[in-house]
Amino acid sequence: MVNGHFQVDENQKHLRIDNLRIGVSKVLNDERFTPEVARNYLVADMITGFGVAEAVRHYYSIWGGNVNFKRAIIQGWGNVGAAAAYYLSLYGVIIVGIIDRNGGVLKPTGFTKEEIKDMFLSKQGNTLVHPDMMSYEEINEKIWEVGAEIFVPAAASRLVTQDNIDKMRANDLEVISCGANVPFADQEIFLGPIANYTDDHVAIIPDYIANCGMARVFAYCMSNDEVELTDEAIFKDTSKTIWQGLMRLHQFNPKHKGLLKKGLEMALVNLV
């Protein structure tokens, strides 16, 4: 990328690769972007989940509405899902349910910011740990009907079923921010029947916008020899990039539905 896309000389090449190495592995020390400074979380640990949460915040600011007091269901409690839940809670979103591969938790009135932070800090690897954990079978039966405007699929690909979508739609679902690259249980990578159906009924923020955080850090760090490598600069660049992507999508599709199909069309046009 440095040689082909940026076409820089040998000295600039080494500088930009050094920036990339420093930026990605940077320890977060700004309390606005890390749940606990002493834990030494890295940019790489938090940036994708941050982007997924920012995509939701920007969606409501652009298409209309207020993210405060919206309810959210989180699928997956790895780096992406847990970080997205943490940042969404800071924005005033009420996390009402979390489903992980080993079980989950449910609270229709919503977990507090402190409770979400505690669950983030106590996770073991990519696994949710909580004294009130339900079995996977129990949480999977209940969570889809708890009621939430926001859904963040951030676990493995191809997990979200038609039944999941129908139950969430019947209980106030408005927007899906794709933390997983292929969240729907379709064989097709792009626009299988479940993805196509969901896109016709609710807003889906395309994955190439919602979870672009890590890729955007790569691009940002290599964009300039003297790029600013602070927490604020790195995270603001990701937020700005997602905002720009959603603004452009809104320009061509101001409706709440059909975002996935229009986004794919626009991406393919850009590639050609």
Spatial separation of the C-alpha atoms in residues 240 and 54, rounded to whole Å: 9
Residue 20: per-residue pLDDT: 82
User: Residue 33 pairs with which residues in a beta bridge?
Assistant: none
Burial of 195 (0-12, 13-18, 19+ CB in 10 A): buried
Token pair for 71 = 């309810």
Strands (E), 134-212: 150-153, 175-177, 203-205
CATH no. for 2-271: 3.40.50.720
Sheet with strand 71-75: strands edge to edge: 103-111, 94-100, 71-75, 150-153, 175-177, 203-205
Longest dimension (CA), the chain: 58
Name which of 223, 259, 260 is nearest 240 in CA terms.
223
Residue in the block written with tokens 């990578």: 189
Sequential pLDDT tens for the chain (272 residues): 555 455 555 567 667 778 888 888 999 999 999 999 999 999 999 999 999 999 999 999 999 999 999 999 999 999 999 999 999 999 999 999 999 999 999 999 999 999 999 999 999 989 999 999 999 999 999 999 999 999 999 998 999 999 999 999 999 999 999 999 899 999 988 889 999 999 999 999 999 999 999 999 999 988 876 789 999 999 999 999 999 999 999 999 999 999 999 999 998 888 77
Domain ranges of the chain: 2-271
Question: What is the reported pTM?
Answer: 0.93
Residue 66: per-residue pLDDT: 93
